[in-house]
Structure 1
Amino acid sequence: MGRKQSFTETELLDTTKQLVLEHGYDGFHLKLLSQHLSGARSTIYQYYANKEEIVAACMKRVMSAVLDKALAIDEAEPMDALEQLLLVYVEESALHQLLGNASKINTANSSAAARDLEYIEAGHQTLKIQLSRLFERAQQNKDLRQDIPLPVLIGVFFNLIDTPNMLNIPTPAWGKLLFQMWIGGAKS
């Protein structure tokens, strides 16, 4: 007797995210996914037609969540906005790793996956524009050093996201600490 459907689309996408991050796109397959869900493998096909659609939908969902949070930030004070934006990126630090697999998705057999990837690319551009705008305003306000080129400031800012939280500090406090380290440096 087969297993009955007992997982939601949210659970499906959460599990997909976890497995793609653990095994990479190439190591992710529907059999592996079904082993981590409490329902029958055939239930997956009630939501998505194939691996490409599932992974693209997962990526779109993560991008959508990041966009919602990032675009809700009040940009009146660029440095405050940058700190809030860093927290958004730290909270969803796997976004970059997850989206690194987007180029591996073959959209030839899935118009749904192609649409999701178009959304992801547009979202990436929106985030890039927001970040550039905030950095430029912060530099114009002389909140950031003028002698360091903007691409360097942005690059170091992004590298903060991948800093391991070895002390297991709660994410909001960790994001604040990283921002303070970035803005103040390590000198006494």
Structure 2
Amino acid sequence: MGRKQSYSHSELLDITKRLVLEHGYDGFNLKLLSQHLPGARSTIYQYYANKDEIIAACMKRVIAAVLEKAAALDESDSMRALQELLNIYLEEFQLHQLLSDAYKIKTTSSDAARKDIEYVESAHDFLKVQLTRLFQKAQQEKQIREDIPLPVHVGVFFNFINTPNMMNVPVPEWSKMLFQVWMGGAKK
């Protein structure tokens, strides 16, 4: 007798995310996924036709959550918005790692995967435009140094997102510390 389905669509995507982060696109497959699910592998096919569809759906889900929070930001205070944006990105700090293999997804064989990757790309574009807009506004308001080119500010900002939290500080506190280092530097 086969195993009974005992996981939700959300749990399926959560486990997919974890496995893609652990094994990468190339190391992920549906057999590996089924080994981490309580139900039969055939149940996966009720949701997705293949590996590319499920990974694309996982990517879309993650970036959609980030996009929803970022789009809701009050941008009237550029510095506060940048701090809140850093916090949003740190909450989903593995986003860039997860999306780094998006180009490997075969979108020509699946409309679902193609649509999900198109969404991921448009969401990523929105986030880049938003971040650039906030940095430009902060420079115009003389909140950040104007002699430092915008791409340097953005690059440092993104490097903060990738800073390992070796002390396992809660994300809001970690975000605040990183923002303070960015704003004031490390000097006393």
Q: TM-score, with normalisation over the residues of structure 2?
A: 0.99
Q: How far apart, CA to CA, are the structure 2 residues paired with 1:69 and 1:143?
A: 24
Q: How far apart, CA to CA, are the structure 2 residues paired with 1:146 and 1:131?
A: 16
* Structure 2: tracts of 5 or more residues without a match: none
Aligned equivalent of 2:39 = 39
Aligned equivalent of 1:50 = 50
Q: How far apart, CA to CA, are the structure 1 residues paired with 2:80 and 2:101?
A: 32
Listed as ranges, the matches of 1:41-120 within 5 Å are 41-120=41-120
Give the SS at the match of 1:126.
helix
Deviation at 1:177, TM superposition (A): 0.6
- Report percent identity of matched pairs: 67
Listed as ranges, the matches of 1:169-180 within 5 Å are 169-180=169-180
Q: Could you list the per-position Cα deviations for residues 77-119 of structure 1 after superposition, in whole angstroms to 9, with x for gaps in the alignment?
A: 0000000000000110111011001001111210100000000
Q: How far apart, CA to CA, are the structure 2 residues paired with 1:7 and 1:109?
A: 27
Question: Structure 1 stretches (4+) deviating beyond 4 angstroms?
Answer: none
Aligned equivalent of 1:121 = 121
Instruction: Number of aligned residue pairs: give it.
Output: 188
Q: How far apart, CA to CA, are the structure 2 residues paired with 1:38 and 1:172?
A: 34
Q: TM-score, with normalisation over the residues of structure 1?
A: 0.99
- 1:155 correspondence with 2:126: no
Deviation at 1:146, TM superposition (A): 1.3
Q: Which amino acid in 2 is paired with 1:64?
A: A
